[in-house]
Amino acid sequence: MNVYEQVLRVLDSALNLQGRGATFDAATPLLGALPELDSMAVLALITELESHFGITFNDDDLHAEVFATVGSLNALVQQQLDRQAT
């Protein structure tokens, strides 16, 4: 499973989307568009991404824009993975 597919899977599980996440694409809007994504859910999503990928986000990298779409969320994870690989 590539990073993008794993991000979708974590998203689906953290927000309890019951498989709806599989129908999302990179342009699917998240924050403000997905009713499940309230502040507790945002926190759960961050925590699950961190524990799933074994990464720790820098708080300066976390802002509303990165939760805008599936694509921007994926980019956040990819950036952190690249950073920790070096």
Partner 1 sequence: MSQRGREALPQAFFVPTETHALPAGQRLCLFHPPVGLPRGRVLYLHPFAEELNTTRRVVAQQARALAAAGYAVLQIDMTGCGDSTGDFADATWTAWLEDARLAHRWLSQSASGPLWLWGMRSGALLATDLLDRLSEPANLLLWQPAVAGKQVLQQFARLHAANQWLSAGKADEESPTRRLAQGVPVDIAGYTIHPELAAGLVETRLKPPTAGLAGTLIWMEIARQVDAELSPASEREILAWQQAGWHTRAEAVVAPPFWQTVSTEDAPALIQATLAAMAASAPRPDTARLT
Q: Give the range of 17-25, 56-64, 69-77, 78-86 binding partner 1 by CB under 8 A.
A: 56-64
Residues 1-30 that bind partner 1 (CB under 8 A): 13
By residue count, the chain amounts to: 86
Q: What is the DSSP letter of 53?
A: H
Residues in Cβ contact with 32 at an 8 Å cutoff, skipping those fewer than 6 apart: none
Q: Does 81 bind partner 1 (CB under 8 A)?
A: no
What is the contact surface with partner 1 in residues (CB under 8 A)?
13, 31-32, 38-44, 46-48, 51, 54, 59, 62-64, 67
